[in-house]
């Protein structure tokens, strides 16, 4: 079936992965690697991270609750310190691919984000916020979990994006760096790409679309 829309996750797809920053923090603090991800994966629909991404709790409450949840698992990590690690660097090759897609398809973004930092990309400073804002302006529609009150992997958020773009799921391809977020999109009928290596992900997207995204 012909693809009419390309839908992107933001962090870890159009920017470097926050998990890299998590690992650097863990190394600096003497915490086991991937500990922060383990905290986020414990009670993933109701923990502090999930509630903050749905704007159900404040930053102060998140700070306290994340520290308490992480302490139960072995290491107390203040939530504010985790939030400070968000907002990676833009990947130029992915941004260029988005620009090419924007001229040929409906393009959308589904991002799990929080009310912290500058703008929907949670940038750490005004300069980064401007650069991310320029990329965000390329999308025909953006679904932010903090505003929608729904977060991935809830199937409703993918349907929101398709409805906003005016396409059925079967005519959309979705890119994300987390398999857990790709599964519901695939079950709805979307083509999916797991972004681990950006070059490999673009190879796969070019194959699905049938044209280059790097030489245009």
- For the chain, the domains span 5-17+88-209, 18-83
**pLDDT higher than 70, residue 120:** no
Burial of 122 per CB tally in 10 Å (0-12, 13-18, 19+): buried
* Cα–chain center distance at 126: 20
Give the tokens for residue 84. 């400070």
Q: Confidence band (pLDDT; 50, 70, 90) for 118?
A: low
User: Which among 29, 43, 33, 41 has a CA at the least distance from the CA of 76?
Assistant: 29
Q: Are 208 and 172 in contact (CB under 8 A)?
A: no
Q: Could you give the count of Cα atoms lying within 13 Å of 36 in the half-sphere of its Cβ?
A: 22
Residue 117: its pLDDT value, please?
Answer: 55
User: Which among 114, 113, 190 has a CA at the least distance from the CA of 158?
Assistant: 190
> Residue 17: phi, psi to the nearest 5?
-75, 135
pTM of this structure: 0.87
Average pLDDT over the chain, rounded to an integer? 93
Residue 115: its pLDDT value, please?
Answer: 78
**pLDDT higher than 90, residue 196:** yes
Residue 109: its pLDDT value, please?
Answer: 98
Q: Confidence band (pLDDT; 50, 70, 90) for 88?
A: confident
Which helix (H) or strand (E) segment is 210 a member of?
Answer: none
Q: 18-83: which CATH number, 1.10.150, 1.10.940, 1.20.58, 3.40.1400?
A: 1.10.150
Residue with tokens 């997207």: 205
- Name the percent of the chain lying above pLDDT 90: 84
Superfamily of domain 5-17+88-209 in CATH is: HAD superfamily/HAD-like (3.40.50.1000)
């Amino acid at each position: 079936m012909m693809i009419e829309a390309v839908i992107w996750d933001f962090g870890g797809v159009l920017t470097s992965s926050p998990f890299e920053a998590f690992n650097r923090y863990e190394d600096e603090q003497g915490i086991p690697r991937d500990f922060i991800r383990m905290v986020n994966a414990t009670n993933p629909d109701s923990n502090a991270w999930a509630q903050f991404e749905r704007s159900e709790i404040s930053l102060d409450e998140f700070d306290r609750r994340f520290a308490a949840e992480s302490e139960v698992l072995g290491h107390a990590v203040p939530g504010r310190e985790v939030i400070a690690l968000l907002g990676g660097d833009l990947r130029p090759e992915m941004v260029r691919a988005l620009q090419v897609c924007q001229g040929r398809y409906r393009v959308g973004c589904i991002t799990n984000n929080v009310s912290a930092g500058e703008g929907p990309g949670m940038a750490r400073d005004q300069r980064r916020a401007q650069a991310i804002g320029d990329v965000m302006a390329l999308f025909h529609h953006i679904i932010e979990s903090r505003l929608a009150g729904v977060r991935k992997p809830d199937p409703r958020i993918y349907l929101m994006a398709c409805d906003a773009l005016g396409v059925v799921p079967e005519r959309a391809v979705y890119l994300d760096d987390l398999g857990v977020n790709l599964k519901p999109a695939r079950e709805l009928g979307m083509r999916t790409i797991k972004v681990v290596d950006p070059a490999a992900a673009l190879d796969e997207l070019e194959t699905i679309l049938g044209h280059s995204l790097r030489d245009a």
